[in-house]
Amino acid sequence: MADERKPALSHVDDAGRPAMVDVTAKYETLRIATAVARLRFPASVFEKLKSSGFETTKGPVLNTAIVAGTMAAKRTHELIPFCHPLGLERCDITIEADGDGLEIRCTTAVHHRTGVEMEALTGATVAALTVYDMCKALSHDIVIEQTRLLSKSGGKSDYSAGAES
């Protein structure tokens, strides 16, 4: 006997098949999301990177990561099957030293019927992967961690990490 109390899944149709969420009835609003990813390096590697101005034999690490993260955010719908294609109006990526590593923040925005949290998460993640790729010759002990959504606004519900529901 089937459980009649199953929650409705947003990416599954009535027949149980995968489906894109229908946003045609939603209102177009300004949607903004911010995500973060952190990288931790062995101390000697991080010191070497800082002293070089974050330049490796592959080039400028931070600038390359910003470009890669922005490109990825804009193409999220090509990577995540049910993401709607969005013409992002904003994609800001910042990278700052944080203890023995880096903190990458990606903020995305668009006027649309669906949110941009997946674009922010994708931008932060691909920027982190780019840093790893450009620094792996120095060490493979680089850890990408704590990738998460920090905030989203403009849709049916807003979200802020750490805020009580």
Q: What is the mean pLDDT of each run of 10 residues along the chain (165 residues)?
A: 56 73 81 98 96 96 98 96 93 96 98 94 98 97 97 93 71
In degrees, to the nearest 5, what angle opens at C-alpha 93 toward C-alphas 61 and 10?
Answer: 125
CA dihedral 122, 124, 130, 132 (to 10 degrees): -120
Using DSSP's 3-state secondary structure scheme, residue 134 falls into helix
Provide the CATH number for the domain formed by 29-155 in this structure. Answer: 3.30.70.640
Neighbours of 89 (CB within 10 A): 14
133 is catalytic: yes
| Residue of 3, 22, 133, 141 marked active site | 133
pTM above 0.95, yes or no: no
How much is the pLDDT for 1?
Answer: 45
Q: Across the chain, how many H-helices and E-strands are there? A: 4, 7
How much is the pLDDT for 5?
Answer: 53
Using DSSP's 3-state secondary structure scheme, residue 5 falls into coil
Phi and psi angles of residue 75, each rounded to the nearest 5 degrees, phi first? -115, 20
